[in-house]
């Protein structure tokens, strides 16, 4: 975040204003406009504030409702807004059954395994229907799952994952998918939090040319859930290669079952989709914030599905006959909204890829695009940076043509944006930079591809029907074009917003509304701006530029990691007394984590303790969170009240100015830490590079939320 309530803030803001280089607009081709779902500027009119909330009828009407709603937006229990109240529908029916009449033999998914010699598999809508029904029957009949029960999925990128999600949706159960890269311990903690007694997992999967033992994590998950007082009853294990078990861990008798064996009893079974109220929870997605414990964002059936269908149609420009590839993991909200629910609700064909982006080489994604005729491509800046670094000239070697490309998950640097546009998109494809988050269900800021010019580094204006506002710390509006940053909020409700935090409604109100809602009794939504958690600036043209999280979250390669979670993981090592995680600017991963630790009295630093700290993070969270460096320091820089000054060590880790340290209780330690870290970094060849103004601001502001 760029602004700060500390003295000197005005200097900071002015500096940003001066260094703010406005990019020129780039416009879509007439060819794109000619085929677009939203070519008519009148669409902005249809979603104008005066038409709110009825404007969202357009989105809801993309779905088949069993019972049409009577109230578009019910605000009687603020801020637990209900969209499409009185309406009933089934998400699985909308994503699968209703397409059978026209597209039974069209692929819903084209699955690309990581090993290039393995066959690509088409899962038609008919086959998806069969597999979903069989698995739904198994969940009901074998695992005893009932409407409203939670089912945890810890699945990699295989078609069985959307099958399992849709099977849950079909029977009214709430799925909670945990990213496969997360550890068993992290999965178990989420199982306990959601009270889910069934775990759906897989024996193994391919990543970067290796087959990973994934079932091992299920045993850790069950053990971790038990520690939290939760007994997991059944572990349903899909097999990556049917009939072969590629995990080293034994199956536990009476608890673990192979899906391919059990399913024999459910062959050709058909399960009626359960008609659910619009506000029934469809799934939970755990995410990180300021405090240590991840929160389960609870998403709805009717509002969420309408919102992802509508935004997929107008922003991804999906037509049913398109081949669309979202190169993200279904384990994150991006995959839920824009691999599974949005595209399937529209009846399109999606590519799903199992593995690592540059396996076996940086030409892989472009070969896939060429072979499968991909027309819409969707990925994150971290992947774009990596592919650019490893194979800057690869895209030109392949004969594919994208009409539209999406970027999501982190701010994209204008140079990286330009490589994406010029080289990957061959200057033919529109780029849509979509800004949003787990909590919002779908896009909050983006350009309408046929109507609003692209501006590298800016996501664009608020999405259709979304009215953002920037507030300063005191709640005053930060105007567009002033070059000042503020906390970006959404003024109005929208159908994709999470309903609540699973089991913690007070925390929901506290986290997203306490800062700017001044009348907690008000049933007028105007009193309830939603705090997104990002700092942002708005240019004169209304476009937003997102600066990053304001709540001690570090965005590593698009993964949202809470500093408190990282620190608590490290503090499970008995030798460690204190820990502080800070972000370090990284050329490909955006940010990486460096961990500072101090030891209990009498202990001296050793590589062994360093490794224990790394292992603890891998165990508690997962490999994705592994810190780049662990620095064992004699003491942490602290304020007189004993708070660790994260901005100071963040400054050191980034070879940046540490700012004012005169108010520290122990200023002398700063020089010692700097000396130690610089020497080590030099020895490891981690050369400094000059940071941009924006990056410097981010580092300076880090830890401000405390």
**Which residues form the interface with ligand WT7 (CB under 6 A)?**
287, 332-334, 408-411, 433-438, 459, 533-534, 546, 548-549, 555, 560
Full DSSP string of 453-470:
-B-TT--BSBPTT--EEE
Minimal distance, residue 14 CB to ligand WT7, in Å: 23
Give the HSE-up count for residue 489: Cα atoms under 13 Å, Cβ half-sphere: 27
Question: Can you tell me which residue has the tokens 């069969």?
Answer: 130
**Least gap, CB of 65 to ligand WT7 (angstroms):** 27
- The residues with which 353 forms a beta bridge, in sequence order, are 112
Q: Which residues contact 448 (CB under 8 A, 6 or more apart)?
A: 38, 43, 44, 314, 315, 464
Check: CB of residue 120 under 8 Å from CB of residue 110: yes
| Nearby residues of 204 by Cβ (< 8 Å), 6 or more positions away | 211, 212, 213, 214, 215, 240, 246, 247
Distance of closest approach, residue 326 Cβ to ligand WT7, in angstroms? 11
Nearer to ligand WT7, 379 or 598 (CB): 379
Look up tokens 């198994």; give the residue.
Answer: 138
Query: In the complex, what is the shortest distance from the CB of residue 453 to ligand WT7, in angstroms, rounded to a whole number?
Result: 17
Provide, rounded to whole angstroms, the least separation between the CB of residue 555 and ligand WT7.
Answer: 6
In DSSP terms, 694 is beta-bridged to: none
Taking the complex as a whole, how short is the minimal distance between the CB of residue 488 and ligand WT7, in angstroms?
Answer: 9
The phi and psi torsions of 394 (rounded to 5 degrees) equal: -65, -45
Strands of 105-197, DSSP E: 107-112, 121-124, 150-154, 174-177
What distance lies between CA 569 and its chain's CA centroid? 21
d(CA 340, CA 362): 26
Shortest Cβ distance from residue 4 to ligand WT7 (Å)?
A: 18
Tokens of 491: 């003024």
For ligand WT7, the closer of residues 87 and 562 by Cβ is 562
168, with CB counted inside 10 A (0-12, 13-18, 19+), is buried
CB 185 within 8 A of CB 333: no
* Closer of 266 and 544 to ligand WT7 (Cβ): 544
Looking at the Cβ atoms of 379 and 438, the one nearer to ligand WT7 is 438
Name the residue nearer to ligand WT7 (CB basis): 247 or 438.
438
Cα(189)–Cα(229) distance, rounded to whole angstroms?
10
Nearer to ligand WT7, 26 or 100 (CB): 26
Instruction: Retrieve residue 538's tokens.
Output: 């708005």
Nearer residue to ligand WT7 within complex by CB, 111 or 443: 443
Cβ at position 435, least distance to ligand WT7 in Å: 4
What's the number of CA atoms in the CB half-sphere (13 Å) around residue 19? 14
- The DSSP symbol for 337 reads I
Minimum CB separation from ligand WT7 for residue 379, in Å? 11
Compute the least distance from the CB of residue 278 to ligand WT7, in Å: 23
Nearest CB to ligand WT7, comparing residues 487 and 598: 487
Q: What angle do CA 343, 448, 591 make, to 5 degrees?
A: 75
- Closer to ligand WT7 at the Cβ: 87 or 411? 411
Phi, psi of 495 (to 5 degrees): -65, -25
**Which residue has tokens 């506002």?**
469
Paired with 210 in beta bridges are 207
What gap in Å lies between CA 660 and CA 328, rounded to an integer?
A: 41
Q: Closest CB to ligand WT7 among 46 and 626? A: 626
* CB nearer to ligand WT7: pick between 235 and 546: 546
Neighbours of 597 (CB within 10 A): 26
Closer residue to ligand WT7 in complex, CB, 186/237? 186
d(CA 84, CA 308): 15
Residue closer to ligand WT7, measured from CB, 72 or 438: 438
Q: What's the CA gap between 59 and 55, in Å, rounded?
A: 8
Residue 284 near residue 296, CB atoms below 8 Å: yes
**What's the sign of the alpha-carbon dihedral 606, 608, 614, 620?**
negative
């Amino acid at each position: 975040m760029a602004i700060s309530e500390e003295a000197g803030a005005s200097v900071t803001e002015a500096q940003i204003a001066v260094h703010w280089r406005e990019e020129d607009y780039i416009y879509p081709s007439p060819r794109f406009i000619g085929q677009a779902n939203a070519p008519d500027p009148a669409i902005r009119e249809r979603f104008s504030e005066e038409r709110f909330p009825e404007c969202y009828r357009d989105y809801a009407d993309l779905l088949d409702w069993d019972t049409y709603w009577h109230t578009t937006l019910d605000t009687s229990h603020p801020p637990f807004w209900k969209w499409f109240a009185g309406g009933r529908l089934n998400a699985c029916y909308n994503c699968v059954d209703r397409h059978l009449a026209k597209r039974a033999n069209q692929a819903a998914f084209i699955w690309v395994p990581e090993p290039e010699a393995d066959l690509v598999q088409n899962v038609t809508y008919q086959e998806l229907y069969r597999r979903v029904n069989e698995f739904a029957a198994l969940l009901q009949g074998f695992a005893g799952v009932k409407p409203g029960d939670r089912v945890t999925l810890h699945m990699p990128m295989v078609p069985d994952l959307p099958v399992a999600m849709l099977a849950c949706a079909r029977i009214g159960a709430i799925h909670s998918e945990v990213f496969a890269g997360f550890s068993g311990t992290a999965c178990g903690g989420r199982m306990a939090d959601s009270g889910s007694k069934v775990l759906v997992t897989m024996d193994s999967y391919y990543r970067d040319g290796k087959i990973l033992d994934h079932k091992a994590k299920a045993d850790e998950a069950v053990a971790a859930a038990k520690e939290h007082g939760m007994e997991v009853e059944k572990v349903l294990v899909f097999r990556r290669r049917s009939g072969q078990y590629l995990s080293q861990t034994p199956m536990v008798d009476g608890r673990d079952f192979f899906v391919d064996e059990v399913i024999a009893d459910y062959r050709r079974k058909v399960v009626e989709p359960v008609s659910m109220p619009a506000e029934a929870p469809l799934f939970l997605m755990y995410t990180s914030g300021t405090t240590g414990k991840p929160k389960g964002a609870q998403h709805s059936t009717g509002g969420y599905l309408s919102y992802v269908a509508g935004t997929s149609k107008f922003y991804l420009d999906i037509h049913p006959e398109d081949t669309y590839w979202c190169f993200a993991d279904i384990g994150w909200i991006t995959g839920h909204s824009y691999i599974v629910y949005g595209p399937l609700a529209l009846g399109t064909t999606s590519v799903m890829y199992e593995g690592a982006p540059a396996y076996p080489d940086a030409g892989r994604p472009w070969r896939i695009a060429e072979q499968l005729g991909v027309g819409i491509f969707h990925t994150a800046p971290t992947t774009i940076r990596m592919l650019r670094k490893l194979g800057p000239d690869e895209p030109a070697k392949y004969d594919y043509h994208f009409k539209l490309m999406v970027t999501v998950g982190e701010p994209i640097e204008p140079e990286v944006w330009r490589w994406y546009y010029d080289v990957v998109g061959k200057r033919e494809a529109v780029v849509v930079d979509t800004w949003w988050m787990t909590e919002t269900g779908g896009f909050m800021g983006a350009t309408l591809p046929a109507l609003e010019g692209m501006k590298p580094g800016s996501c664009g204006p608020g999405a259709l029907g979304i009215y953002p506002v920037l507030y300063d710390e005191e709640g005053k509006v930060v105007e567009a074009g002033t070059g000042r940053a503020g906390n970006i909020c959404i003024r109005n409700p929208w159908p994709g917003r999470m309903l609540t935090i699973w089991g913690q409604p007070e925390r929901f109100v506290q986290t997203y509304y306490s800062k700017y809602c001044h009348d907690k009794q008000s049933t007028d939504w105007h009193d309830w701006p939603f705090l997104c958690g990002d700092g942002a600036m708005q240019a004169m043209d209304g476009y937003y530029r997102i600066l990053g999280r304001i709540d001690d979250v570090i965005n590593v390669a698009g993964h949202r990691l809470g500093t408190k979670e990282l620190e608590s993981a490290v503090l499970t090592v008995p030798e460690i007394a204190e820990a502080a995680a800070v972000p370090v600017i990284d050329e490909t991963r955006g940010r990486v984590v460096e961990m500072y630790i101090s030891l209990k009295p009498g202990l001296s630093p050793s590589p062994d303790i360093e490794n224990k700290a790394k292992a603890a993070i891998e165990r508690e969270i997962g490999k994705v969170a592994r810190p780049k460096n662990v620095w064992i320091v004699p003491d942490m820089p602290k304020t007189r009240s004993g708070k660790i000054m994260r901005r100071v060590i963040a400054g050191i880790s980034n070879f940046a100015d540490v700012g004012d340290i005169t108010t520290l209780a122990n200023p002398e330690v700063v020089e010692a830490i700097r000396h130690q870290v610089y020497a080590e970094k030099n020895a490891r060849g981690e050369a400094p590079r000059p940071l941009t103004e924006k990056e410097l601001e981010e580092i300076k502001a880090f830890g401000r939320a405390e």
